[in-house]
Structure 1
């Protein structure tokens, strides 16, 4: 999610200081609030690029930022540009899984518990999915005239779709690992490779 362009969109609604923008960003998008230092750093870069200017201070002495014409043009262009793809998954779980599988298959760490890695992730995804569904039910229980809640609902439904997709992918991973004998079913220490006797065909 682009903090830079999110700030431009928020400033289109009117002048604001960094702390207010931080709170509004989380409210509008349903994402966790970004660190205030990150917000101020992004505002500094936008000011350097001529997208925003500081205009006066509020009653607490905090500098207010205002969108410039260049900022409005950039925001309009951003809305119609194709979103950048996120690329291949490189998160910690995927890295942990592929390295553990390789360690088992090369016998460099045959004790690596691949099954436990998958099961731990499955519990994590299941818990997150349950929480997303609960939050969605809370939003749906509100009157429909809350535009900020509509944005939150859309984000939650995307999170639900991703969690459901990952749960299916984990099922696929488990089945494939069992077929390749990277996890052994119930015949030995979990996570070990089921090596056949030399010369015997694999099952």
Structure 2
């Protein structure tokens, strides 16, 4: 996830200080990916160094206000125009855990699958309930949160289907091992 580009995009609306950017990011994404305020200010420092934002003084309350530069606008415009590359997939802890579980003698991969399925189904239920709640009184600001929820729902559904496939493969592998 590009915090850099997200902060630039938020600055296109109006100049803001770090805590405002963090709050606005979390509001628009439903806090699905909470930001550490230190990360926000470190990123703002780098953006300033790179000439993509500038400091506009403070807001009178001691907060340094940042605004986007023309170079920053061009950077965020390019980010929105370019598709997200699917090169190196991010590490998937569940896949790593299962890959190791099936190769270690003292681990029951079926128990790992079942435990994860329970967590994944609970998450799917929670996301689905949150989506129903957000849809009930949908305001324009809810659209961003609904998009995030849809993504999380699809990911959880895919994870449950993948776990079902893993379980079927385990059964299939056990059948081969017993016939040998």
May I ask how many residue pairs the two structures share in their alignment?
179
Selected match of 1:180 from 169, 173, 177 = 173
Deviations 1:86-106 (A, max 9, x none): 633522221111011112xxx
**Rg larger in structure:** 1
- TM-aligned CA distance change 1:21 to 1:89, over 3 Å: closer
Equivalent of 1:121, from 116, 135, 143?
116
Pick one of 122, 134, 154 that aligns with 2:129: 134
82-91 vs 169-178, which moves further? 82-91
Equivalent position to 1:171, from 160, 164, 168: 164
Q: State yes or no: 1:76 paired with 2:38.
A: no
TM-score, normalising length: structure 2:
0.93
Runs of 4+ in 1 over 6 A off after TM superposition: none
Whole-Å separation in 2 of the counterparts to 1:129 and 1:151: 19
Unaligned runs of 5+ in 1: 104-109, 185-193
Structure 1 vs Structure 2 CA RMSD: 1.6
Matched, 1:96 2:97: yes
Show structure 2 runs of 5+ residues with no match: none
The structure that is helix-richer by fraction is 2
